[in-house]
Amino acid sequence: MSISRIAAALAFAATAIAGSSTALAQGDPKVLRIVPHSNLTILDPIWTTAYMSRNHGYMIYDTLFGSDEKNQVKPQMVEEWSASDDKRLWTFKLRKGLEFHDGKPVTGEDVVASLARWGKRDALGVAMFTFVDRMDAPAPDTFRIFLREVCGFVLEALGKPSSNVPFIMPRRIAETDAFKQIEEHIGSGPYIFKRDEFKPGDKVVYVRNPKYVPRKEPPSGSTGGKHVFVERVEWNLALRDAQAQVNALQKGEVDILEQPSFPHIPALKKDPNIVVYTYSPPLQYMARFNHLHKPFDSAKVRQAAMAAFAQEPFLQAQVGVKDLYKTCPSMFTCGTPYASAVGSDIQSKSNMKKAQELLKASGYDGTPVVLMKPTDLTAIDKLPDVAAQLMRQAGFKVDLQAMDWQTLVGRRSKKDAPDKGGWNMFLTAWQGPDIWNPIANAALDTRGEASGWFGWGKDDKIVELRNQFMRETDEAKKKKLAEAIQVRAFEVATHVPLGEFDAPLAARKNVSGLFRQTGNFYWNLKKN
Amino acid sequence: MYAFLARRVLATIPVLAIVAVLVFLMLRLTPGDPAAILAGDAANTEQIARIRTSLGLDQPILVQFGIWIGNILTGDLGESFYYKTKVAALIGQRLEPTLALATLTIVIAVVVSVPLGIIAAWRFGGWFDRALMGFSVLGFSVPVFVLAYILIYIVSLKLGLLPVQGYQRIADGFWPFLRHLILPSVTLSVIYIALIARVTRASMLEALGEDYIRTARAQGMPEVRVLVRHALANAAVPIVTVIGIGVALLIGGVVVTESVYAIPGLGRLTVDAVLARDFPTIQGVILFFSFVYVLVNLLVDMSYVFLDPRIRY
Amino acid sequence: MDAPGLRQYEALSVEAAGVVRQESAWQRVRRNWSVRIGGMVLLVLVLVALAAPWLGTVDPTLFDAGSRDLRPGNAGEITTLDGEVIKHTFWMGSDSLGRDIYSRVIYGTQVSLVVGILCALLALAIGIACGLASGYLRWLDGILMRFMDGLMAIPAILIAIALVAMWRGSLATVVVAIAIPEIPRVTRLVRSLVLTIREEPYVEAAISLGTPTWKILFGHILPNCIAPLVVQGTFICAFSILVEAILSFLGVGLPPDIPTWGNVMAEGRQQFNDYPHNIFFPGVFLAVTVLAVNILGDGLRDTLDPKMAKRV
C-alpha cells in the first residue's frame, strides 16, 4: 500500500468520524436527555426529603392539590371539595379517569393510605395530623378527613409543592412502614418508571403514560395540565463532572442541564444554542447550629457567629454571578407573604468587630467548632470555607472536616458529641417553598431533641407561637405571628439565613415548553 | 502439557483465597462497628442490627469468614446499601463499558508499542531509540487525568472531532460506540504503550544479541524476517508477561479515565462506592478486579507454552 | 547495515573497563547523566518546598471572593485572618474561591515530596523486614510469600482507594494506604537477594562460626541489598506521588483544604474550559516531579544495578 493510499484512507476515516457527529448530537426528538443535579439512589420520596427523590416522584406520581406559580393552592387529582361549617370535616371528590400504571383505578382508600404514610414523615404532615381524628373513603372516588379542632393549613399541606410531597400511591405500597423504603414504584403520574432499564449510578428511564388524563388548565407550578409530548425521558446519572456536563450540553449530547454550576452560567447564556431559564423559586442558604453541644449550646455564642456571618461573602464566594443572588434578611423566602426584615438587625447591622466583642462577652472557652464540608455538591461546597474564615476572624477555633454529601447527611443525624462523631455546624440550601412559612420551615421547629430537623434547637416561646399559627385562619394575624416568630428566632439564633440565589436550568434551544415551577418538572416539554 | 496447565490453574486457588482473606480482613480491621460501616451513614439501629445478623457479625470470626466465602462462591457478593441492589448485579451492569474500554486500550497499546519497541531495538542507540525511551518515561510521569483533559481540550472542544464524554452501547450502533471510546482508550493506552515499548525494546535487544541472529543475517535472510520471525518470536515471552502485569496499571487507569469521561463502568462504580463509603460494593469490586487480574496472568502463563517451545513445565 | 549486537559488546566492554579501573559505585553514579538531571531537578524542588513561605507566597488557605477566577499574572486582593486586606499578584491565577494557585502549588510541593519520601521509606522498611524474615526463616517463607502474592494480585490503586475510604483521609492514612501495595515487590527483591547471598561461602563460614543471625543479616546480607533497594525506593517515590495526586483528584485523598497538586486540580476540573490554569500549573509540576524521580531512578539503576538494566 502506497503512502498516498494510506493517507487517503485515513482522511476518509477522519471525515466519517467527524461527519457523523452532528447527526448524532441532536438525538431522537422523542427522547429527552436530562442531566439531574445529583445521583438518584432513593426512589421513595416519602422516606427522604432529598430533592432528587422528590423530582423522581413528580415524574411518576400525581398529587391531590398543587401550588401554582403564585403559591396559590389549586386542585390536581381532586375534582371538587368542601368543608363543613365548623371546618372540622373536609370532603373531597377525585377526578374521573385516574388510573395507576398497573391499570387499577385510583380510589379513596389509596389516598387515605398515602396520606397516612406521608403524615408520619413530613414536617407539615406531622403537624397537620396532630389535628386529624381519622380519615375514611365512603365511596371509591371520595375521601374525608375528620379534624379534632380547626386546622388553618389543610389545603396548604395537601398542596405542598416540595419535600415531602404527598404523592398518591396504591394502597398496598402506601401501607409500607413509613420508616422503610418502598419496593415498588407505581403511581398515577404522567410518566411510567421503567424499572428494567434503571441502572443505579448510570441512568433512569421514564416513558410516557398513554393513559394519563391531564387537566385542562395551563401548567403552572405543580398544578395545571401535565401534558407529555415526548415518548421517553432519560436521566443521565453518570455525568457528574460539572465541566463535562457543560461540554456535553454545548455539543448537544444532552438536552437539559438541571443545575449547571454557577461559574458556567455566563458562558451558557452566551451560547447561541442554549437558553438559560430561571423558572424555579429562589433558594436560601443557611448555616445550622447544633444546639446540643458546646460551644453552640449557648445562645450568646450563636449570636456572635451570626454577627460574623455577613451574607455577601457567602453569596459572592459560592454563587459569584451577581444577577443570580441577593441578600435576604428574612428567615422566610423573600418575596413571599411572611417574609420581612424584622428582628434581623443582629445579622444585617453587624460587623466583624461586633462579632469579636460578642464572642468575648459570651464566655467562649475555645472549644473548636466541628464544621462539616460537603465536597461533591457544587451549589454549597464553598460555603463552609467562608464560614470557617469568618469564624476564625471573629476568634473562634474551627475544625473544618470534608466529606461527601451522603456522609454528611448521615453524620448530621447523630446527636453524639462532636469529638465522638457528631458535629457543630453545617451549611445547606433550601428551596423557597420549603421555608416560606413557620410550619414548613424545619429550622424553626424548636421542640429540642424531639424536633425533626437536625440541630435540635429548643425554645418554648417559638413552639407556642407556632402552635398559635397552626390554628389561626386570619391572614393578618398569621403575618403578625410569623413576624414574632422571626424576631424570637433571631434572638435565640436558631440558624443563620445566608441570602438567596437562583439555580437556573440550561436547555438546548430546541427544547420548548418550560414554565414557572416549584421544583423540577419535566412535563409539557417538546423537542423541535 | 495438560498436567502443567492443570497444576497452573490449581496454583491460582491459594492466591485467590489470600485475596479473599485480605478483602475480608480489610473491613474488620477498621475501627468501629463493621455492621454500621457496611450499613452506611444513613442507617438506623434496626437496619444495622439486621445486617449484623445476616452477616453473622456476632459470631466468631472463622464462622463469619465461612459464611462470607460461602456467599461469594454462590455468586452473592452482598448488597449495596447505597444503590439498593445486589453488588453482583451492579458489576454485571457496569461490565460492558469497562471491558470495551480495556480491550480497545490493549489493542491500541500493543499495535502501537510493539513495532515501536522493535524499531528502537533495531536502531539501538540511534535518535529513534533515545526518543522512545524519553517518551516512555514521560508516559509514566504524566498522570492519566491530566492527559485526558489535554486530549479533550484539543480533540473534542477545539477540533470538535469526537464526543466529550459518555458511552454508547455496542447494541445501539457500532460507529457511535467506537467514537465514544477512541479518546478514552488513547488516553489510557499511553502509559501502557510506554511500558510495553520499553520491554519490547529490551527483550528484542537481548534476542538480537544472540548467536542465531548473526547466523541468520550471515545467511542473507531479509532483515524484516530476522526481526519478526526470529527475534520477536523469542522476545515474545517477556512482552506477553508485561502485558499481563500491566493489566494492574490498566485497572488503576480505568478508574480515573471513566471518571473524567463519564463512562458508566466498573471504574466509576469503584469511585462512587468509595465516595459513598459503600463497603459491600468496594469489596465486591476489589474481588472482581483481583480475580480478573489473576485470570489474565494465568492466561499469560499458559500462553508461554505456545510461544516458547522450550518451556516445558 | 547495522550491528546492534556489536553495540552491546561495546557496552559490556565499557562496563568491564569500569570494573578494571575500579571506579567506585558512587563515582559511576555521579557521572551518569540521568542521575545528574533528575537529581538536580529534585534538589530544586526540595529547596522550593523548604523555602515555600519566602517565595512570594501567601497562606494557601486564604481567599477572597472578589479575587476568584483571575487569570495568571493578574493582581487582586486577599483578606488575611486578622482582617487586613493586602494586594497580591496572582502569578498562576486564582481558583474559584479566590485562592492563589501559585501559593497552593508551591506549598503542594511540600506535601508531594513528603508523601513520596515517606511512602518509599515505609514500604522499604516493612519490605526489608519481611524479605529478610522470609529469606532467612524457611518456615515463614511459604506463608509470607503466599500472602505477598495475594496482595500483589489486587491492583495497587484499588487497595489505596479502599484503605483511604475506610480510614478517612489524613496524611498518615494516605501514606500507609499508598505504601502497602508496594511492600510485596520490595519483599520479593530482598528475599531473592537473601536467598542468593546466604549460599555464599563467607556466609556459610559465618554461620558455622556461630555468628548470631542478626549480625549475619545486617552485617553481610543487607549491605548487598542497598543498591537495588535505593533504585526500587526511587520508583516507589515516583509512584506514590502520582497515586496521591490521583487519590486527591478523585476526592479520596487528603482533605481539600490541604494544598496538594491533586486537590488543586480536583477543584479546577469544574472550570477546565474557561480557566485551564487550575489544571495546567499543578499538572506541570506533578509531571516534572515524577519525571525527575523516574529519570533519577533510571540513572541509579543503570549505574548501581546493571543486572536490572538488562531486564527493562
Q: Which pLDDT score, from 0 to 100, does residue A117 have?
A: 94
Taking a C-beta distance cutoff of 8 angstroms, is the pair A192, A232 a contact? no
Cα separation values, A268 from A232, A263, A276, A318, A520, Å? 25, 10, 7, 18, 19
> DSSP string spanning C142-204?
HHHHHHHHHHHHS-HHHHHHHHHHHH-S-HHHHHHHHHGGGHHHHHHHHHHHHHHHTTSHHHH
Mutation site for C-interface testing, chosen from A262, A376, A382 by largest number of C Cβ within 10 Å: A382
If pLDDT is split at 50, 70 and 90, which confidence band does C35 have? Answer: confident
Over 80: is that where the pLDDT of A212 sits?
A: yes
Mutation site for A-interface testing, chosen from B30, B38, B41 by largest number of A Cβ within 10 Å: B41
Q: Which pLDDT score, from 0 to 100, does residue B71 have?
A: 83
- For the segment B4-27, the average pLDDT, to the nearest whole number, is 83
**CA A402/CA A376 separation, integer angstroms:** 10
Scan for cell 493517507, then name that residue.
A7
- Average per-residue pLDDT for chain B: 82
Q: How far is the alpha carbon of B213 from chain A, nearest alpha carbon, in Å?
A: 29
Closest by alpha carbon to C234, among C290, C282, C181?
C290
Over 80: is that where the pLDDT of C6 sits?
A: no
Closest by alpha carbon to A278, among A287, A268, A286?
A268
If pLDDT is split at 50, 70 and 90, which confidence band does A509 have? Answer: very high
- Average per-residue pLDDT for chain C: 82
Over 70: is that where the pLDDT of C21 sits?
A: no
Over 80: is that where the pLDDT of C236 sits?
A: yes
- For the segment A362-382, the average pLDDT, to the nearest whole number, is 87
Q: pLDDT tens-digit profile of B161-209?
A: 887 777 777 777 788 888 888 999 999 999 889 988 888 888 888 877 7
**Kindly report the CA angle at A175 between A171 and A179, in degrees rounded to 5?**
140
Over 60: is that where the pLDDT of A250 sits?
A: yes
**CA C312/CA C304 separation, integer angstroms:** 14
C-chain residue closest to B195, CA distance? C312
Residues from chain C that touch B146, judged by Cβ atoms under 8 A, are 265, 279, 283, 286-287
Q: Which of B85, B166, B179 sits opposite A17 (nearest CB)?
A: B179
Residues from chain B that touch A41, judged by Cβ atoms under 8 A, are 82-84
Q: How far is the alpha carbon of C76 from chain B, nearest alpha carbon, in Å?
A: 28
**CA A251/CA A248 separation, integer angstroms:** 5
Q: pLDDT tens-digit profile of B224-275?
A: 777 777 777 777 878 888 888 888 888 888 988 998 888 889 998 888 888 7
Contact C155/B293, CB-based, under 8 Å? yes
Pairing of strands A495-501, A505-508: unpaired
3-state secondary structure of C100: strand
Q: pLDDT tens-digit profile of C109-128?
A: 999 999 999 999 999 999 99
Q: How far is the alpha carbon of C270 from chain B, nearest alpha carbon, in Å?
A: 11
A248-252, B19-23, B65-69, C245-249: least confident range = B65-69
Residues from chain C that touch A385, judged by Cβ atoms under 8 A, are 63, 97, 257
Over 80: is that where the pLDDT of A324 sits?
A: yes
If pLDDT is split at 50, 70 and 90, which confidence band does C312 have? Answer: very low
DSSP bridge partners of A256: A34, A507
Over 80: is that where the pLDDT of C45 sits?
A: yes
**CA B274/CA A403 separation, integer angstroms:** 11
Closest by alpha carbon to A403, among C64, B281, C257?
C257
Q: Which of B90, B156, B261 sits opposite A200 (nearest CB)?
A: B90
Taking a C-beta distance cutoff of 8 angstroms, is the pair C69, C96 a contact? yes
- Average per-residue pLDDT for chain A: 87
Strand segments, DSSP code E, in A313-461 are: 325-326, 369-374, 398-403, 425-431
Residue B156, chain A, CB below 8 Å: the answer is: yes
> DSSP string spanning A200-242?
TTTEEEEEE-TT----SSPPBTTBS------SEEEEE-S---H
Residues from chain C that touch A261, judged by Cβ atoms under 8 A, are 270
Residue C166, chain A, CB below 8 Å: the answer is: no
Closest by alpha carbon to C112, among C264, C214, C276?
C264
Contact A14/B161, CB-based, under 8 Å? yes
**CA C275/CA C69 separation, integer angstroms:** 7
Contact C65/A263, CB-based, under 8 Å? no
Q: Which pLDDT score, from 0 to 100, does residue A381 have?
A: 86
Pairing of strands A495-501, A511-512: unpaired
Taking a C-beta distance cutoff of 8 angstroms, is the pair A276, C305 a contact? no
Q: pLDDT tens-digit profile of C91-108?
A: 888 888 888 899 999 999
Q: pLDDT tens-digit profile of A441-475?
A: 888 888 887 766 788 888 999 999 998 998 888 88
**CA A55/CA A104 separation, integer angstroms:** 24
- For helices C138-153 and C183-197, what crossing angle results, to 10°? 150
Q: What is this model's ipTM?
A: 0.81
Q: pLDDT tens-digit profile of C149-175?
A: 888 888 888 888 888 877 767 888 899
Instruction: Give a three-class secondary structure readout of chain B.
Output: CHHHHHHHHHHHHHHHHHHHHHHHHHHHCCCCCHHHHHHCCCCCHHHHHHHHHHCCCCCCHHHHHHHHHHHHHCCCCCEECCCCEEHHHHHHHHHHHHHHHHHHHHHHHHHHHHHHHHHHHHCCCCHHHHHHHHHHHHHHHCCHHHHHHHHHHHHHHHCCCCCCCCCCCHHHCHHHHHHHHHHHHHHHHHHHHHHHHHHHHHHHHHHHCCHHHHHHHHCCCCHHHHHHHHHHHHHHHHHHHHHHHHHHHHHHHHHHHHHHHCCCCHHHHHHHHHHCCCHHHHHHHHHHHHHHHHHHHHHHHHHHHHHCCCCCC
Residue B275, chain A, CB below 8 Å: the answer is: yes
Residue C271, chain A, CB below 8 Å: the answer is: yes
C-chain residue closest to B283, CA distance? C162
Q: Which pLDDT score, from 0 to 100, does residue C18 have?
A: 46
3-state secondary structure of C286: helix
Cα separation values, A316 from A240, A491, B123, B208, C67, Å? 24, 26, 60, 66, 10
Taking a C-beta distance cutoff of 8 angstroms, is the pair C239, B191 a contact? no
Q: What dihedral do alpha carbons B295, B300, B302, B305 form, nearest 10°?
A: 180
Pairing of strands A31-35, A256-257: parallel
* Amino acid in the structure at residue B192: Y
C-chain residue closest to A265, CA distance? C271
Over 50: is that where the pLDDT of C311 sits?
A: no
C-alpha cell of residue B76: 452473592
Scan for cell 387515605, then name that residue.
A112
Over 60: is that where the pLDDT of C308 sits?
A: no
B-chain residue closest to A24, CA distance? B176
Which pTM value belongs to this model? 0.81
Q: Which pLDDT score, from 0 to 100, does residue C305 have?
A: 65
Taking a C-beta distance cutoff of 8 angstroms, is the pair B166, B261 a contact? yes
Q: pLDDT tens-digit profile of A9-64?
A: 555 555 454 444 444 445 688 999 999 988 887 888 988 777 888 999 999 999 99
Q: Which of C66, C169, C270 sits opposite A261 (nearest CB)?
A: C270
Taking a C-beta distance cutoff of 8 angstroms, is the pair A163, A50 a contact? yes
Give the best-scoring range by mean pLDDT among A297-301, A428-432, B59-63: A297-301
Over 60: is that where the pLDDT of C5 sits?
A: no
Q: Which pLDDT score, from 0 to 100, does residue A21 have?
A: 44
Q: Which pLDDT score, from 0 to 100, does residue A216 have?
A: 92
- For the segment C134-158, the average pLDDT, to the nearest whole number, is 86
> Considering chain A, what percentage of its residues have pLDDT values greater than 70?
94
Which chains touch C (3+ CB pairs under 8 A)? A, B
Over 60: is that where the pLDDT of B43 sits?
A: no
